[in-house]
Amino acid sequence: MERFALIPALEPDEKMLKTAKGLKELGFEIIFIDDGSGSAYAPAFAQAQELGTVLRHSKNLGKGAAIKTGLAYLAARTAPCVAVTVDADGQHLPCDALRAAKEAEKRPDSLILGSRRFTGRVPLKSRFGNTVTRAVFRLASGASVYDTQTGLRAFASDHFQKMLEIKGDRYEYEMNVLLEYGRGGLPIREIPIETVYIEGNASSHFRALSDSARIYGEILKFSLSSLLSFFIDYALFALLSAATAALGAFSAPVSNVGARLVSAAFNFTVNRRVVFKSDKSLPRTAVEYFALALFILMGNTCLLTVLVNTAGVSRYLAKLLTEATFFFLSFFAQKHFIFRKKRTGEGAAAAKDIRAASE
């Protein structure tokens, strides 16, 4: 089975050619994707042409778009093969790419990730970023992946079409692939690779703010929706608390219930239409959402009452603590049960098709 290395590149330096030469020596066919680097980098890609095939974007479209260009090129072939995506900045060793390719050959149903252990002199932003993304990914997909940000990935040609259909053109594409596989029950396997950072990862084109927003988009939208709902809830809670002060111990729970009913209606509408863009029927999602809201309301109210009436915590501080406690529970339930998209089932069917194709 042929092995291909896809190298998406934007304004590369000599590290791309060094990596490509090492891959060539190990028997890989190299596919370079020039993602709009411009005429100043024509000499580098002229040298790359001597090592493999160069595909070009006339302007910068993003890493995800570059990977898809390489996949579309390979998908037009009829012979089965294995592809490995390799970064152009020298962070991936050819020997690790070979190990990943061999693993993909043995397990054609799986997406193989080259997983870094983040040992040695790793930039703090990279170590912290992967820790945060790992937690976000587990929350959003229900699957566990140690190195969610690795660009070294190997997979058999049976996966090409599915990967071409996954949304995203820039750095968010690689996260979207993991999310689709995790949610759809498709196998993801990790193999350990060297952690290599050259000059503090200075050659990376990752833009911290805009690209992080794309990667974490869904949970950021959910957080904003929850924050707006919280403000509505908190303001109403304060107003109702003042209005029902004569109720004594019953004031806090009564105020909490009234405020929550209004904020829950707002939150449901925003999450269904904007955050998760659910394609499930309105009546069904409404029933499921308000069942969840009722469960959370009961837990929230019980905890709030205990904190205020038993522990003696200020009702306003207690409100903050209870909201923080139930935030992640709410996200997980809405993501995986209430607003789950129908394509999750299609992902499971795709997994079955891939397994059948590999037998």
CATH number of 2-214: 3.90.550.10
pLDDT at 3 > cutoff 50: yes
Residues 72-82 pLDDT 10s: 999 998 789 99
- pLDDT-based confidence at residue 27 (cuts at 50, 70, 90): very high
pLDDT at 201: 47
pLDDT at 349 > cutoff 60: no
Among 131-145, 251-265, 270-284, the range scoring the smallest mean pLDDT is 131-145
- Those residues whose C-beta lies under 8 Å from the C-beta of residue 144, and which sit 6 or more positions away, are 138
pLDDT at 165 > cutoff 50: yes
Domain residue limits, the chain: 2-214, 218-343
Structural tokens at position 266:
């707002």
pLDDT at 130: 67
Top pLDDT among 311 and 110 is at 110
Q: Could you give the percent of the chain with pLDDT greater than 90?
A: 44
- End-to-end CA distance of the chain, in Å? 15
Whole-prediction pTM value? 0.64
- pLDDT-based confidence at residue 123 (cuts at 50, 70, 90): low
- pLDDT-based confidence at residue 160 (cuts at 50, 70, 90): very high
- The 3-state DSSP class for residue 176 equals helix
Question: What count of Cα atoms within 13 Å lies in the side-chain half-sphere of residue 352?
Answer: 6
Top pLDDT among 143 and 34 is at 34
Contact 34, 41 (CB under 8 A): yes
Q: Report the length, in residues, of the chain.
A: 359
pLDDT at 205 > cutoff 50: no
pLDDT at 121: 60
Nearest of 39, 30, 131 to residue 88 by alpha carbon? 30
Pairing assessment for the beta strands 153-156 and 111-116 based on DSSP bridges: antiparallel
Nearest of 278, 134, 82, 110 to residue 185 by alpha carbon? 110
Residues 332-346 pLDDT 10s: 788 767 886 654 344
Residue 136: count of CB within 10 angstroms of its CB: 17
What DSSP string describes 34-82?
Answer: EES--GGGHHHHHHHHTTEEEEEESS---HHHHHHHHHHHHHT--S-EE
Among 20-34, 84-98, 245-259, the range scoring the smallest mean pLDDT is 245-259
